[in-house]
Structure 1
Amino acid sequence: MSGAAAPGGTAGADGQLRADAVLLGFARALRAAGVDAGAERTQAFLRAVDTLRPGVRGDVYWAGRLTLCGDRDDLDRYERVFAAYFDAAAPPRRPPRRPAPPARLRPVVREVPAGARPGEADRERQGPPVASLASSAEVLRHRDVATLDAAERARLNRLLAAFSLRGCSRRSARRRPARRGAVDPHRTVREMLRHGGESALLRRHARVDRPRRVVLLVDVSGSMGPYADALLRFAHAAVRGRRTEVFTIGTRLTRVTRELSHRDPDLAMAAVAEAVPDWRGGTRLGELLRAFLDRFGQRGMARGAVVVLLSDGWERGDPALLAEQMRRLHRLAHRVVWANPRKARPGYAPLVAGMAAALPSVDAFVEGHSLAALERLAAVVRGADAGPAPARTADGKGAECA
């Protein structure tokens, strides 16, 4: 919220900053879900909440819905993200004619100090209720998935269900009618024939932009056990994009796109558990990547696609084989992204043989340990935040990065 801090000390200002951080985190979660909540809309949202009652759930809900949503497709995403972020069911779509007195969300009870000016405590209470409502969700965005308890994982799963993953755009060979672009001779001639051969307006067409295919290779080996469920739920949300393919890799290569097509995340996870025979087993990245390329990638699935590997890079096979197959993948794919949950740990360096062998063929090396890291991964996939590519030496080998 952009209003002035409560007078009489820094407590009001701190509460204001916390509330602003929570609302900005909500806007980031909407962007991760595919809502075009840009800077201008976010500022309008903050001003609207500041004008209304920041601590009232209904006011925050309607302020966001009226300022952050741009079309009908955004409404369903907004409902899901609001319910998950604020940890309760969203308000009804239409407000009642005679609304009951608004109930505050998890209000913070404070004692009014002696000598405080009348109304000062009420002004301070407007900011913190929203912060106390969703500050835990904001903290949860940056928590390592491996450290979460059961309740926190349940909240994380609800936030992941609202995700959206879309590949960067490519120009298709197909064309559509447009006001600007090259002249469409067929439509122009047909228009002239309708007018008896008289000259008519030139009809034009332009190429269609389409999202690139996204291929996710999710490591389900033993070393990735604490992260596998969250990453597969992230993949489940991505499959809704219809141009996403998902494979699990461990000791076998398993295509699980059909299993993840269930609308219910829990049913999808149960179907994946039945289909994948190598949960928490070993890791043969080089052999399985070769199997993927021979069976699917070379035939067109990886050609021109954004391929994302979600793995810690542990390899029990020959690292030279992995390096060879990564070079082969890099030649086929439009972009290769590697998300490593271990990358966020202090002092991390890609010294593991598999990770060191793969890095020279990786275009973007990102973290994958938290919700915020997965949000950035989604931005990298759609090309909005490419990030620095791994450094390469003169002989083509990747330099180790801290």
Structure 2
Amino acid sequence: MGSVTPHRAAQDACFASHASGGRDVVDTVVGLARTLRHAGVPASPDRVEAMLAALAHLRVLEPADVYWAGRLTLCSGPDDLDRYDTVFAAYFTGTRPRAARAPAVPLPRLAAYAPLDAGTGDGEEDVDAPDLAARASAEEVLRHRDVAGMSAAEREHLRRLFALLAPASPMRPARRRRPAPHGAVHPSRTVRQALRDGGEVSRLLHRRARPRPRRVVLLVDVSGSMTPYADALLRFAHAAVRARPASTEVFTIGTRLTRLTRELRQRDPDRALAASGRAIPDWSGGTRLGEVLKAFLDRWGQRGTARGAVVVVCSDGWERGGTELLGEQMARLRRLAHAVVWVNPHKGRDGYEPLTGGMQAALPSVDHFVAGHSMAAFERLTGVISGA
């Protein structure tokens, strides 16, 4: 899942030329897409338009913003990521791109999961169509498979899918109004503009309150019962931090409370998870949800971290301590947070019912109770968070 990032000095030199007016941004993006097509990446014109639309909302002079805007729009699948990294680095350094490296772990062929029926038409048989359809069906099946039962090769494929995941943050209305083409009339700016124009009001200037990202707080259970899902949950947390680093906080809960926001801000997912593993002292330990949640609210939540935020608790609800304390702290959390989302990996299983004492104590204070056992469940979770 790791990728080769472009050389930072070469990026800075290239984008400094944009600031001096040396090359136009549109020409640069079109040239990058042309080079990617020569390297085998299907950077179609509609993908070029998507990258330009993304750059309109980002800092064009920031190399990291341009890198991720192209990676998320010009690449059509995990196989294009290595070639994109190579071409991106070569395009902005002027060196000749080398051949793309083969993936370290071969992707599994899962055609047996979705056998195709023979066609009934009289036309000539298309040899490539069954293989392409089988691979597409296999990836769709992999998205819905339980993370706990995946093989090593399937987990490697899942890591590549997590690299393409871009969770959207929920928005909140802002009190401060800023200049805008539409909205309420801004009297002071309109008068100042009229004075500069000789005292005549030539046009009305407007202002409006633009929505701001709402804080998202993830509490990930890393106890022994959550070990099969801890890696996937932390990769989802890394994707959330990568999307909104300034408005996302991540903590692990078990027997102790550990803040992982700084470790998960690393760009490479594998390095971020390795740093997180070194920082977690109670990995695969016991579960004291009530005590740890109280420690979070006393130290962080009451001071503003959870106030008005979307708090996501990722746990199976197994509680070794008293459930009364957990119920009290969940009610306290509900009063502070804008919304409380509980993610339970077991909810995705057929016939599951929240019968454990921890879940019975927590559910009255939960706004959204969702599954967290597969890639498709994580994609649905992003929609729940953004629309909370």
Same fold (TM over 0.5): yes
Q: Is the 8 A contact 2:41 2:83 kept in 1?
A: no
* 1:95-126 deviations in Å (ceiling 9; x for gaps): xxxxxxxxxx99x9xxxx9xx96x611xx335
> Do 2:42 and 2:76's aligned partners in 1 also have CA atoms closer than 8 Å?
no
Residue 330 of structure 2 contacts residue 365 of structure 2 at CA under 8 Å; is this kept in 1?
yes
Q: Aligned match of 1:71 in 44, 48, 54? A: 54
2:261 & 2:87 partners in 1: Cα distance?
34
C-alpha separation in 2, matches of 1:201 and 1:64: 37
Q: In the aligned structure 1, how far is the partner of 2:70 from the partner of 2:136?
A: 20
Backbone CA RMSD of aligned residues: 2.8
Alpha-carbon separation, structure 1, partners of 2:263 and 2:299 = 19
Deviation at 1:276, TM superposition (A): 0.4
Q: Deviations over 1:225-251 (max 9, x none)?
A: 000011101111111112110000000
Residues of 2 paired with 1:59 and 1:77: CA distance?
13
Q: Does 1:292 align with 2:296?
A: yes
SS in 2 for 1:365: strand
Contact 2:42–2:74 (CA under 8 A) maintained in structure 1? no
The amino acid of 1:177's aligned partner reads P
For 1:279-332, what per-residue CA distance to the aligned partner results, in whole angstroms no more than 9, with x for missing partners?
A: 000011111111111111111111111100111011111111111111111111
One-letter amino acid of the structure 2 residue matched with residue 62 of structure 1: S
Verify: 1:197 aligned to 2:194, yes or no.
no
Residues of 2 paired with 1:208 and 1:74: CA distance?
23
1:22-37 equivalences in 2 (<5 Å)? none
State how far apart, in whole Å, the 2-side matches of 1:359 and 1:350 are: 9
Contact 2:173 2:210 in 1 (8 A): yes
What displacement does 1:262 show? 0.9
| Bigger Cα displacement from structure 2, 269-278 vs 180-189 | 180-189
Q: 1:252 aligns to what?
A: 256
Match of 2:219 in 1: 217
1: CA distance, partners of 2:303 / 2:364: 24
Q: Where does 1:222-233 land on structure 2 (aligned, <5 Å)?
A: 222-233=224-235
User: Structure 1 residues 222 and 154 mapped into 2: Cα distance closer, same or farther (>3 Å)?
Assistant: same
Distance 2:375 2:200 in 1: 62
SS of residue in 1 equivalent to 2:321 = coil
Q: Which runs of 5+ in 2 are unaligned?
A: 1-38, 56-67, 92-106, 112-117
Give the counterpart of 1:144 among 143, 146, 154: 146
Alignment match, 1:83: 78
Deviation, 1:79, is: 5.0
Secondary structure of the residue aligned to 1:205 is strand
- Separation in structure 2 between the aligned mates of residue 158 and residue 173 of structure 1, nearest angstrom: 39
Pairing of 1:14-163 with structure 2 (within 5 A): 62=44, 65=47, 70-72=53-55, 74-79=69-74, 82-83=77-78, 89=83, 120-121=124-125, 124-125=126-127, 127-163=129-165
Which residue is equivalent to 2:344? Answer: 340
1:183 corresponding residue in structure 2: 185
Deviates more, 1:308-317 or 1:57-66: 57-66
Change in CA separation of 1:142 and 1:88 when aligned onto 2, cut-off 3 Å: farther
Q: What count of residue pairs does the alignment treat as equivalent?
A: 307
> How much does 1:65 deviate?
3.0
Identical columns (%)? 58
Residue aligning to 2:265: 261
Return the alpha-carbon distance in structure 2 between the equivalents of residues 224 and 196 of structure 1. Answer: 70
Equivalent residue of 1:127, what SS? Answer: helix
| 8 A contact 1:192–1:199 mirrored in 2 | yes
Match of 1:350 in 2: 354
Instruction: Give 3-state SS (helix, strand or coil) of 1:280's partner.
Output: coil
| 3-state DSSP of counterpart to 1:120 | coil
- Which residue of 2 is the match for residue 36 of structure 1? none
What residue ranges of structure 1 are gaps of 5+ in the alignment?
Answer: 1-56, 95-104, 387-402
- 8 Å CA contact 1:235–1:246 kept in 2: the answer is yes
Cα separation, partners in 2 of 1:214 and 1:258, compared to 1, 3 Å: same
Deviations 1:317-358 (A, max 9, x none): 111111111111111111100110011122211110001100
The 1-side partners of 2:286 and 2:357 are apart by 15
Q: Supply the distance in 2 between the matched residues of 1:361 and 1:340 (Cα, whole angstroms).
A: 15
C-alpha distance in 1 between matches for 2:176 and 2:132: 48
Change (3 A) 1:174 1:71: same
**8 A Cα contact 1:216 1:310, kept in partner:** yes
CA contact (8 A) 2:191 2:201 kept: no
TM-score by length of 2: 0.73
Correspondence for 1:6: none
Alignment-mate amino acid for residue 77 of structure 2: F
Opposite residue 181 of structure 2, the aligned amino acid is: R
Q: How far does the alpha carbon of each residue in 1:151-184 deviate from its partner, in whole angstroms, 9 at most, with x for none? A: 1111111111222223211111122212221111
What is the aligned counterpart of 1:310 among 310, 314, 332? 314
Cα distance in 1 for residues equivalent to 2:201 and 2:227: 69
Equivalents in 1 of 2:310, 2:347: separation in Å? Answer: 21
Q: TM-score, normalised by structure 1?
A: 0.70
Quick one: distance in 1 between partners of 2:264 and 2:41? 36
Corresponding residue SS for 2:179: strand
- SS across alignment from 1:173: coil
Q: Secondary structure at 2:291's aligned position in 1? A: helix
Q: How far does residue 80 in structure 1 lie from its aligned partner after superposition?
A: 5.8
Letter paired with 1:285: L
Which shows bigger deviation, 131-140 or 168-177? 131-140
**Separation in 2 of the partners of 1:268 and 1:88?**
19
